Amino acid sequence: MTFKQYFGNSNILLFLIGSNVAVAVIIWLSAWLLSGSDESILMSWIVMPAQWSSFILKPWSALTYMFTQVSFLHLLFNMLWLLWFGRIFIYCASEKQLLLTYLCGGLAGAICFLTVCNLGGAPAGSYLTGASASVLAVMTAASVMAPNLELNLLLLGQIRLKYVALLCIVLTFIGIGGGDAGGFSAHIGGVIFGFFAPSIFSRKVAVNADYTSPLRRLIHKIKARKRKVPDALRQPVGPHGGARLRPSSNPASYDTESRRNDEERLDQLLDKVRVSGYDSLSKAEKSELNAISSRL
């Protein structure tokens, strides 16, 4: 397995994890080189302050904080969870939606953090740091899209994704990644956004979901309408489609074998639509699908 394959062949997932690791290394190197004297100056520019008056002077901190881990354990747990759940997310949706979920989940956490802190929910001088809100958003969205996906966990056996995600969320809330009201509210913001992310991005997906039901309903309607047409007025149509030139005197020309072949081919095309979406069909396959649906 190559390095990229380990990240689910996702450039976005590799970028997110790499960015978090790179920022952490820069912070640790600066603390070592400067003996900690100027580490606070560097951190003050990238972490998100709790007070609105301070935040308005550094609005970029709403973005940079979600790539900033100050401790090794904080980085380790967040990146492991991002890797595991990010790969599942990409299996269900797209890389672009993974990036949007990460960023918007972090921003939702930032909004909740600012709101709670400015209502007196955190001590003065508090700041927000870490990717927890973003990771929780990805984790929650993945569990919403594929809740019943079974994971094989060491010593625990097969457990559904929704229960694994719930356990990770509980562990985060009870201590991993911060314990004050501000940090707690940021985590809640990430979870809330992750829950609604599939709907927000108009990609309600789930493992083994059937995306062809609207198309199947349309075909059934076409077939039902055709049944109402008298047999004497039907034009014979060959296995590869044909023009309606005049009423048919031989409606049986579309024999049982041709119908069976059409139905088998229709199932193949619909299976491809279910797995990869309608846009995955070539132009010829789309024309073939329309022709078969008009014949059945």
Tens digits of per-residue pLDDT, 178-224? 456 667 888 999 999 999 998 887 644 444 444 455 555 666 666 55
| C-beta of residue 82 within 8 angstroms of C-beta of residue 14 | no
Q: Is 150 helix (H, G, I), strand (E, B) or coil?
A: strand
Q: Average pLDDT, stretch 152-163?
A: 79
- Tokens 């790539």, residue located: 67
Q: Band of the pLDDT at 101, cuts 50, 70, 90?
A: very high
DSSP class of 180: S
| Average pLDDT score over residue span 59-75 | 90
Q: Can you say how many angstroms the Cα of residue 271 is from the centroid of all Cα atoms in its chain?
A: 22
pLDDT > 70? residue 275: no
Q: Are residues 250 and 227 in the same domain?
A: yes
51-55 CB contacts, 8 Å cutoff, 24+ apart: 51/117, 51/118, 51/124, 52/114, 52/118, 55/114
pLDDT at 28 over 50: yes
> Do 228 and 163 fall within a single domain?
no
Tell me which residue of 43, 19, 20, 47 sits closest to 182, measured CA to CA: 47
Decide which of 85 and 296 is more confident: 85
* Phi and psi torsions of 7, nearest 5°: -95, 25
42 and 122 part of one domain? yes
- The size of the chain, in residues, is 296
What's the pLDDT at 39? 56
Instruction: Please tell me whether residues 158 and 17 are part of one structural domain.
Output: yes
| Whether residue 156 sits in one domain with residue 44 | yes
Look up the domain containing 275 and give its range.
213-295
Q: Do 21 and 151 share a domain, yes or no? A: yes
Distance of CA 260 to the CA centre of its chain: 38
Tell me the torsion sign for CA atoms 277, 280, 285, 291. Answer: positive
Q: What is the distance between the alpha carbons of residues 278 and 276, in angstroms, rounded to a whole number? A: 7
Write down the H helix ranges in the chain.
3-6, 11-33, 39-46, 52-55, 61-64, 72-92, 95-116, 132-145, 161-173, 181-200, 213-227, 256-276, 283-295
Provide the β-strand partners of residue 95. none
Residue 208 is assigned to a structural domain of this protein: no
What digits encode the pLDDT tens for the residues 222-258?
655 555 544 444 444 444 444 444 444 444 555 677 7
* 46 and 191 share one domain: yes
pTM of the predicted protein model: 0.64
CB burial of 204-226 (b: ≥16 within 10 Å; e: otherwise) equals: ebeeeeebbeebeeebeeeeeee
C-alpha–C-alpha distance, residues 70 and 30, integer Å: 12
Residues 273, 178 share a domain:
no
The number of folded domains in the chain is: 2
Q: How confident is the model at residue 119 (pLDDT cuts 50, 70, 90)?
A: confident
**CB 190 within 8 Å of CB 264:** no
Most confident of 1-5, 56-60, 166-170, 286-290: 56-60
* 80/224 same-domain check: no
- Residue 35, domain CATH: 1.20.1540.10
CB of 113 within 8 A of CB of 28? no
